[in-house]
């Protein structure tokens, strides 16, 4: 067996890290390809350094672009690399253009595909990520579903149970492993002069939110209302895509004008974990952040109209509110009034080990 692990964004690096470590520890024949879909130091390379992972054997340097351009470039480069290296299995994680391109190129080269975090569904096909995860699941021969909900999504689509393994989510492995390190290394709370449980944390980056001026305006209005109601700091490590679009729409000055908001540059993984763990509440449109907040027992408000992580809602740690001011404020007030359950629906932190056991 020769495994090719393909990553392209920081969530993929984080979620693949337990599998990479397991391969290293067992001396398994594997190599890594990084498409470089995220290509800045703060959004990408720092994660390999902080997670103490080996450098990828191949860096394709794809960078940004439209969905078609980005996916097309990846297909050409990945096909060439697969032909040279001849892996017996390509392992991908998640729902990005990298994941779809890696799975499609492998399928064309008659190489088996393993999909980590298979079976997630938002049931919203206007999201590019939904198309990516749907197609990747149907191209895969090994589907590693995080929960029984994910497995049911797959079987409902006619995928054979023989291909599906319910293993939990590697985000639990990564979060628990790295939080211990982060607590000793990170000084982010001191640097930002923050007290634990006395700030809100915001992440915002999805295309359907930041590329739509009306939705972005609505989110900023919601943030103004939240700041007025609660009068505590709101920390936003601003994503490059969101920063670019806010400037194009002429909205950044309005965001900066909110008295309690503190815009900061994107931070490394360890610093972000500490910010998440210490937050009174997280507002996000990220799937991974919904999971991490759930694992860390921090209330989460999702600024979207659907989620492919319904388990976080089922256990009462997340509310999906959309972007309208009244709905967002109602969601924030409602979840802060609740006592959160310690229940974690995503596994015991041994998912990486389970996945490698199955592959071996």
Helix (H, G, I), strand (E, B) or coil at 193: coil
The per-residue DSSP string of 53-88 comes to PPPPSEE-------HHHHHHHHHHHHHHHHHHH--S
Beta strand 200-202 with 234-237: parallel, antiparallel or unpaired? parallel
Q: Catalytic residue among 34, 38, 115, 205, which?
A: 205
340, 215, 99, 40 alpha-carbon torsion, rounded to 10° = -100
Instruction: Let me know if 34 is a catalytic residue.
Output: no
Residue ranges in the chain assigned as alpha helix (H): 10-26, 46-50, 67-85, 97-108, 128-139, 148-156, 170-185, 188-191, 207-210, 213-230, 240-249, 252-256, 269-278, 287-296, 310-314, 325-336, 351-359
CA distance 21 to 308: 27
Residue identified by tokens 């990564």 is: 174
- Length in residues, the chain: 360
Q: Are strands 58-59 and 89-93 parallel, antiparallel or unpaired?
A: unpaired
φ and ψ at residue 166, rounded to 5 degrees: -90, 110
Other Cβ atoms closer than 10 A to 52: 10
Q: How many CA atoms lie within 13 A of 180 on its CB side?
A: 5
Q: Please list the active-site residues.
A: 205
């Amino acid at each position: 067996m020769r495994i090719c692990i393909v990553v392209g964004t920081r969530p993929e690096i984080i979620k693949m890290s337990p599998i990479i470590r397991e391969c290293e520890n067992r001396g398994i024949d594997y190599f890594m390809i990084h498409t470089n879909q995220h290509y800045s130091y703060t959004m990408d390379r720092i994660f390999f350094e902080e997670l103490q992972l080996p450098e990828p054997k191949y860096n394709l340097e794809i960078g940004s672009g439209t969905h078609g351009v980005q996916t097309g470039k990846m297909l050409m480069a990945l096909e060439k690399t697969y032909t040279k290296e001849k892996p017996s299995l390509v392992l991908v994680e998640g729902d990005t253009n990298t994941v779809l391109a890696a799975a499609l190129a492998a399928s064309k080269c008659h190489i088996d595909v393993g999909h980590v975090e298979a079976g997630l569904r938002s049931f919203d096909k206007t999201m590019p990520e939904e198309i990516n995860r749907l197609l990747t699941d149907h191209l895969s021969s090994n589907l590693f579903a995080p929960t029984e909900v994910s497995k049911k999504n797959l079987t409902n689509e006619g995928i054979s149970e023989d291909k599906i393994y319910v293993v939990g989510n590697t985000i639990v492995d990564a979060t628990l492993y790295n939080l211990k390190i982060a607590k000793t290394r990170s000084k982010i709370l001191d640097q930002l002069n923050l007290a634990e449980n006395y700030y809100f944390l915001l992440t915002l980056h999805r295309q359907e939110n930041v590329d739509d001026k009306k939705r972005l305006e609505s989110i900023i209005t919601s943030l103004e209302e939240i700041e007025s109601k609660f009068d505590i700091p709101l920390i936003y490590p601003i994503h490059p895509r969101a920063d670019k679009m806010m400037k194009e729409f002429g909205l950044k000055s309005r965001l900066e004008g909110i008295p309690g908001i503190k815009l900061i540059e994107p931070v490394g993984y360890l610093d972000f974990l500490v910010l998440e763990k210490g937050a009174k509440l997280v507002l996000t449109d990220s799937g991974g952040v919904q999971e991490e907040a759930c694992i860390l027992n921090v209330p989460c408000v999702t600024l979207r109209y659907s989620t492919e992580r319904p388990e976080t809602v089922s256990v009462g740690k997340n509310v999906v509110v959309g972007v309208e001011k009244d709905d967002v404020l109602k969601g924030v007030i409602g979840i802060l009034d609740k006592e959160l359950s310690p229940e974690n629906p995503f596994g015991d932190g041994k998912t990486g080990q389970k996945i490698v056991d199955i592959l071996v």
